[in-house]
Amino acid sequence: MRLLLISFLSFFAITVSLGEDVVRDETLDSSIENDRTISPIKERSPAHTNSRNSSFVSYKIDSSKNGYGAFLETTSPLAYSYDANGDGENAGWVAVYRQFGTIDETAGFLGVAQSDPYGEEWYVESRINTTYPENQTYTLANPGLPTPDGAPGARYPSAVISSYQNKATAVWNEYTLATYGGGETGGVPMYSYDFFPLGENSNFSAIQHINEGCINLNLAQGEVCDPPDLWQANVQLVDGSDGMARLLAMYTSWATGEGYSKYMIRSLNVTNGYISVDSPEYVQQDSLDSDDQGNCLWYECGGYTGTPDFHINPDGIGYMGMTSFSADSDLEPPYSHTLFFKRTEDYGETWSAEGGLKNSGYYYLSDQELMELHDSLLTLWSLNPDEYPNKPWYPWAVDSEGNVVGDTINFSDDSSDFFYTDYFFMHYEYDIMTDHDGGLHFAAFSYPYLCKDFNGGCDDSDGDGIADSVYSDVRFPGAGMYHYYNANPVEQPNNWTATFIEDFSEAMSADWPATGPMTLYTEPYFYFVPNIRPSYEEGSQVLWYASTNMSRASYNADSTLYIPSDIDVYMSKSVDNGRTWAEAENVTNTAGGPDNPQVEYGHHLANIGSDYEIGLFYQMPNFNVETYPPAVGYYDYLNYVYVGKYENDLESLSTIKGNEQDILPSNFVLKQNYPNPFNPITKISYGIDKASDVKLSLYDVRGGFVESLINKRVGAGNHDFMLDASHLSSGVYFYTMTVDNVSQTRKLILMK
């Protein structure tokens, strides 16, 4: 039985245009010219000229006692089911999160919210984790679960759903007592699924163990799960091109001596939500990974290694990777902190085990390739400083009038200048994605190294391609989110491209306070994490991006440092497989007051989007309600849970001899009207791949026919119909288009 229906008015709806820019202040000196040979541009990415309309509407679906549930980038709290069967029944959203009970109860309740494809009405199921698989039960009067406080202990929840089967599923781990069998740190993975299809009616299954090694333990004899202490899952449900749904979950083990090992749990079968799981398999370990001589692969046996991420496409091809220094990076290439990855072609059953770094199966983005990519971008920006006013330039850059504008950086306590080099640091915040064709996409926070023009510091006497004296800093322009792509990185390791998505130098250089609402729990770069996701549509090259970023700040008293006052979510779209990206837009854009800012964080894109929209999960703390005083970060307050939908109609354009050429749709496409809601005029766009008889009809909310909008022969291509509803009453309507006996329906809202 569904316990609660939430149907809020939208919290906000924002429409922004491609040309909208965030105001940036130039802070670098640009007065010195330096001789440098201009290298060829490896991937010259032109600026986007495509126009677009976009909108973002967000709904508060519930509350959480704290914000830790969605803090880590590894979780995936929002999943989308598209209409895979074409019957109109299998589309919608599911969100899973730690749920607020009462101020005195645990923060470990688990909530699940579901919605229709429009994301406007959310149906919430509460406290689904109050009875464990062995029938231990929690009530307020009798908290009888095997946890430290006897209450539910949900941690790191994720949402998954198969578009083939349409059963909302929650995957998480419980924080239990060691005597329950989870191990010393008590990490026990579990899941529950809805018996009903996605929508209003709900009945969640009894909780199941997802770690097969936790079933049928003899606790009296001290048996523990095999493996024990599994936490922080990275979960994906893949709808395979063979018609099978597969659950893949990579957990971190916190067991003593394991050193954060990674175990992959794969399903043997997924049937109407029920998951039959195989035994967990060890797949990666930062401190125990070794070469064929038994030596550590990573620097200091994993001291500079990021958290592994993985993503697998419907054909079973995928990548698992992380950034790191190799063990011998002080002595031999790769010298860079770079991307290392393994490849699978069988849905994660096996991963590459030979080739790459010391024949370990880990391939990597080489020093030469990494520096060529960044050098190409810096060269592009330096050759066109008027087109890239907020990007770093080489010292020889000149503007359109011939004036030298190249960047140098000078510190007041040093008489020598610092210059940009093509050597960048690839940081620990990143996201991996595999596209429909098996290409590897990697979005990562990266920042430039500078050399000091003093006693030959900018020279390269050892010939490794890196200046002899380099300095790194996250505060300089050029520090931000980069998109790296290779269609076949194993067989073509020198075929990478790179694109700059969003600048983060101002957020990194801000003076983040130690107290008050804007206090960060840790360094700012752990908050600003890139998300990239694909469109599910066949043959699509659409990619979606999201990250939080500092959106408002003011100078301090002596105008030397930014004082941040807000964080918002920024989103972008690519229609050419990441080669170019639209300007990142502030979609939440909530200012608040200086003592009570409206901060959005804990952002997670849905697992997939369409070509024109994608969902976004995020949290917003209520700074008036401390749930863990004294609060030291956003997580110690009551947090509101939001889900939003970002729509963007940017379409792929190709250029032939300077003229824009429309790309014909590959099939019949009916798009969502824009704007929506509207008053009284809205645009309905559609595309057909061949000349056809087209019927477009309007119906009221009860399904009654209202009027015919189109009934004629229409040529192949993309078309727009402008609906003037000034003669209609406010309310919800549906428009249905039929082309060659195929019909598609969407909802529109008239608000007068």
Is residue 38 over pLDDT 70? no
Of the two residues 161 and 49, the one the predictor is more confident about is: 161
- Specify the pLDDT at position 345: 97
Is residue 4 over pLDDT 60? no
587-600 pLDDT, tens digit each: 999 987 777 899 99
- Specify the pLDDT at position 694: 92
Helix (H, G, I), strand (E, B) or coil at 524: helix
- Specify the pLDDT at position 97: 97
pTM: predicted TM-score of the whole model, two decimal places? 0.82
Is residue 79 over pLDDT 60? yes
What mean pLDDT value characterizes the chain? 85
Is residue 3 over pLDDT 70? no
Question: What is the rounded CA–CA span in Å between residue 235 and residue 75?
Answer: 7
Spell out the domain ranges in the chain: 74-290, 665-750
Domain 665-750 falls under CATH 2.60.40.2550: yes
Where residue 287 falls among pLDDT bands split at 50, 70, 90?
A: low
Cβ(167)–Cβ(194) below 8 Å: yes
Phi, psi (degrees; rounded to nearest 5) at 281: -120, 135
Cβ(174)–Cβ(138) below 8 Å: no
Rounded average pLDDT over 636-644:
96
Cβ(265)–Cβ(211) below 8 Å: yes
Is residue 425 over pLDDT 80? yes
Rounded average pLDDT over 471-481:
86
Rounded average pLDDT over 339-363:
95
Is residue 476 over pLDDT 50? yes
Question: What is the rounded CA–CA span in Å between residue 639 and residue 100?
Answer: 9
Question: What is the rounded CA–CA span in Å between residue 215 and residue 227?
Answer: 12
- Specify the pLDDT at position 212: 94
Is residue 534 over pLDDT 50? yes
Highest mean pLDDT out of 342-346, 665-669, 744-748: 342-346
Is residue 525 over pLDDT 60? yes
Where residue 88 falls among pLDDT bands split at 50, 70, 90?
A: low
Helix (H, G, I), strand (E, B) or coil at 295: coil
- Specify the pLDDT at position 116: 86
Among 181-190, 218-227, 421-430, 676-685, the minimum mean pLDDT is found in 676-685
- Specify the pLDDT at position 521: 78
Strands (E), 150-199: 154-160, 169-175, 187-193
Question: What is the rounded CA–CA span in Å between residue 681 and residue 722?
Answer: 7
- Specify the pLDDT at position 414: 59
Is residue 751 over pLDDT 70? yes
- Specify the pLDDT at position 32: 26
457-472 pLDDT, tens digit each: 888 888 888 888 888 7
133-175 pLDDT, tens digit each: 999 999 999 999 999 999 999 999 999 999 999 999 999 999 9
Cα 142 to chain center, whole Å? 40
Of the two residues 406 and 517, the one the predictor is more confident about is: 517
Question: What is the rounded CA–CA span in Å between residue 110 and residue 170?
Answer: 9
595-615 pLDDT, tens digit each: 789 999 999 999 999 999 999
- In the block, tokens 């010219």 appear at 33
Of the two residues 185 and 561, the one the predictor is more confident about is: 185
Residue 223 tokens, joined? 């048996």
Rounded average pLDDT over 20-34:
27
Biggest CA-to-CA distance, the chain: 82
Q: Strand pairing of 613-626 and 601-605? A: antiparallel
- Specify the pLDDT at position 14: 34
Cβ(668)–Cβ(744) below 8 Å: yes
Highest mean pLDDT out of 43-52, 112-121, 232-241: 232-241
Percentage of residues of the chain with pLDDT beyond 90: 56
Rounded average pLDDT over 166-192:
95
Q: What is the 3-state secondary structure (H, E, C) of 359-421?
A: HCCCEECCHHHHHHHHHHHHHHHHHCCCCCCCCCCCCCCECCCCCECCCEEECCCCCCEEEEE
Closest CA to 568 of 601, 616, 617, 606: 601
Question: What is the rounded CA–CA span in Å between residue 178 and residue 229?
Answer: 9
Is residue 64 over pLDDT 70? yes
Rounded average pLDDT over 166-193:
95
Residue 622 tokens, joined? 């209520």
Cβ(418)–Cβ(471) below 8 Å: yes
223-247 burial: b if 16+ Cβ within 10 Å, else e: ebbebbbbbbbbbbbbbbeeebbbb
- Specify the pLDDT at position 416: 66
Is residue 659 over pLDDT 80? no
Is residue 249 over pLDDT 90? yes
Residue 268 tokens, joined? 């043997």
- In the block, tokens 């009462």 appear at 102
Question: What is the rounded CA–CA span in Å between residue 588 and residue 567?
Answer: 9
